[in-house]
Amino acid sequence: MKQGPYLLGIDIGGTGAKAGVFTAGGERIGTGYGEYKMISAVPGQAEHDAEAWWLSTVKAVRDAIRDVPACEILAIGIGCTNGLVAVDRQGKPLRPAIMLWDQRALPEVDRIRKILDADTVFNITGNPVAPGAYSLPTILWLKHHEPETFQAAYKLMVPGGYLVARFTGEFTIDHSRASTTLLFDIRKKEWHRPFLEALDIPAEKLPRPAPSDAVVGRVTAEAARLTGLMPGTPVIAGCMDTIGASIGSGVIRQGECFVIMGTAARVSGPLEKPCFDSRFMNCTHVLPDRWLYIGAVNGVGSSLRWIRDTFCQMEQGVADLTGQDVYDLITAQAAQAPPGSKGLLFLPYISGERTPIWNPYARGVFFGVTLGHNRHDFFRSVLEGAAFAIRHVIELLETDNGLGIQELRIGGAAAVSGVWNQIIADILGKKVVSLTQSHTEVLGAAILAGVSQGLYPDLASAIEKIVVPGKAFKPNPEAHAAYNRLYPMYKKLYTEVQHHFEELARMDLPQVWITRENP
């Protein structure tokens, strides 16, 4: 066992809570995971049981620190996905959390645009008025559709702040996640009171903003009893998952770029000036003179997981029997198909889409299916569709924003997939570097915790010491040429079918159909 002190990083993601214990040199010596499920009983809605976040975190932390002296854990950092949960004074959820994939707040977007000038919102917050990715429409939906819950809410929390509250009893939100509320001044780093007043949102219902690496509280006796941590362990405000991934990827300079392949993908990199593109999400960075652009692509890991759950019962059975990873079995079959999947294209919009089309009605599409296509082709086309979506985002950064991107660092679950990394390299025509730490968000949160305690002179020194790039994948010229022929069709396909997406949504077709003969 390496000697302490140790750092604990936690990340609340789309499908589970991850925890990792790291040495000061970045070696992971303990890990834990607790899974939870999306609640989607009604089309267009996506919720999580926030209590499950806490229970899964308790499990993940206990597993991660099983062989680690709790007294040697120096501090705790927490990263998170986006969602909104109303809590009482004890920090307990009043209803399920409404997640970023949820589309129920679409009408509230129009309401915001009628009350607030969209250009003013963008100028203050650095972000466009849109549902799902931002908290404000969801806050207003809660206010207008569940007024009793809104009135009873002591605070309206994001997942990371919710966990901080369960650990410490303090109600906070870090600056990066506050940037995705549409209520936060991205330059002044404070709540923008005129927006709150215009929309009649009481300021006292919002948590206290704090820098990501600021200590905002300490582990309570109750949280210590449940998790096995020491009471009094410092907890920092934490960060949105993409900030954690940026740090864990070693990307802090403009022109560097990374993508985290989780439930959604985030193509992201630093900006040295607050000059924002409205097709991207934008937030504060940990460094005071940096901001971060985020090209958020919804249907990446979620598309592959949907393939697994819908079509791969056989592969799952083999994985269960042999101990292999089911995704390795799927991607091995995808590798048997040729580049371009024999002309089978997939639009990965199964959860709507954010960057760059910002269409919550968008749906997934398989295009070009023939009798000659098999399972291998379908599996590969899903991997290719996600890679095409990433290329679309990179193209905008280079052609419209003048960023020169030479290579792409890849973290998240796909970082360990040689097949998927090679496909991305071939589609982009750029070198792809996988990251040795597959859970970069957890590592980034832990590094921030170390910075808060003075364990490193500064963030750059910590990254230089800890982050080690992994295997590099160079594009295959022949495959890249094939993808260059397909890519224009990929982009054109969306423009030609997009008008059908909202039409389908408005049909409101029943999800369950029962015949009279077979009730």
Check residue 101 and give its pLDDT. 79
Domain boundary among 202, 237, 272: 237
Check whether residue 333 and residue 418 sit in a common domain: yes
Q: Is residue 381 part of a domain?
A: yes
Residue length of the chain: 519
- Do the Cβ atoms of 438 and 413 come closer than 8 Å? yes
The pLDDT, as a whole number, for residue 512 is 46
User: 173: which 2 tokens?
Assistant: 């939100």
Do both 436 and 308 map to the same domain?
yes
Preceding peptide of 5 cis, ω within 30°: yes
**DSSP label of 230:** P
Q: Domain total for the chain?
A: 2
Question: In this structure, are 304 and 215 located in the same domain?
Answer: no
SS3 content of the chain, % helix, strand, coil (to 5): 40, 20, 35
pLDDT of residue 481: 98
Is residue 450 included in any domain, yes or no?
Answer: yes
- Segment (H or E) for 292: strand 291-297
In a domain, 519, yes or no: yes
What CATH number did the domain enclosing 102 receive? 3.30.420.40
Contact indicator for 20, 446 with CB cutoff of 8 Å: yes
Please tell me whether residues 91 and 218 are part of one structural domain.
yes
The residue out of 214, 237, 260 marking a domain boundary is 237
Q: What would the two tokens of residue 239 be?
A: 């960060």
Side-chain-side CA neighbours of residue 110 (13 Å): 3
Residues 270 and 359 in one domain: yes
Q: What is the pTM of this model?
A: 0.86
Query: How far is the C-alpha of 422 from the C-alpha of 428, rounded, in Å?
Result: 10
Verify that 199 and 275 share a domain, yes or no. no
Judge if 219 and 279 occupy the same domain.
Answer: no
Specify if 152 maps to a domain: yes
**Domain carrying residue 33:** 6-237
Helix axes 301-311, 375-399, angle to 10 degrees: 170
Question: Reduced to 3 states, what is the DSSP secondary structure of residue 248?
Answer: helix
Residue 78 tokens read as 């927490």
245, part of any domain? no
244 lies in some domain: no
> Quick count: other Cβ atoms within 10 Å of Cβ 406?
9
Record the tokens describing residue 276, joined without a space: 């924002």
Q: Are residues 101 and 222 in the same domain?
A: yes
d(CA 292, CA 353): 20
According to the model, what pLDDT value does residue 188 have? 95
Nearest-angstrom CA–CA distance, 135 and 182: 7
State CA 366 to chain mean position distance: 25
Radius of gyration of the chain (CA): 22
Provide the sign of the torsion angle of the four alpha carbons 62, 64, 68, 72, taken in this order.
negative
Domain stop point among 211, 237, 263: 237
Question: pLDDT tens, position by position, for the chain (519 residues)?
Answer: 677 899 999 999 888 999 999 999 999 999 999 999 888 878 778 899 999 999 999 999 999 999 999 999 999 999 999 999 999 999 999 999 999 878 889 899 999 999 999 999 999 999 999 766 899 999 999 999 999 999 999 999 999 999 999 999 999 999 999 999 999 999 999 999 999 999 999 999 999 999 999 999 999 999 999 999 999 999 999 999 999 999 999 999 999 999 988 788 889 999 999 999 999 999 999 998 899 999 989 899 889 999 999 999 999 999 999 999 999 999 999 999 999 999 999 999 998 898 999 898 899 999 999 999 999 999 999 999 999 999 999 999 999 998 999 999 998 777 789 999 999 999 999 999 998 776 789 999 999 999 999 999 999 999 999 998 889 999 999 999 999 999 999 999 999 999 999 898 888 665 544 443 433
**Residue at 243 is within a domain:** no
Residue 233 lies in a domain: yes
Are 476 and 425 members of one domain?
A: yes
The one-letter amino acid code at 68 reads: V
**C-alpha–C-alpha distance, residues 250 and 467, integer Å:** 6
460 and 366 assigned to the same domain? yes
Q: Are residues 305 and 203 both part of a single domain?
A: no
pLDDT at 513: 40
Query: Tokens 């950064």 map to which residue?
Result: 397
Residues 214 and 67 in one domain: yes
Cα–Cα distance between 210 and 190 in angstroms, integer?
Answer: 9
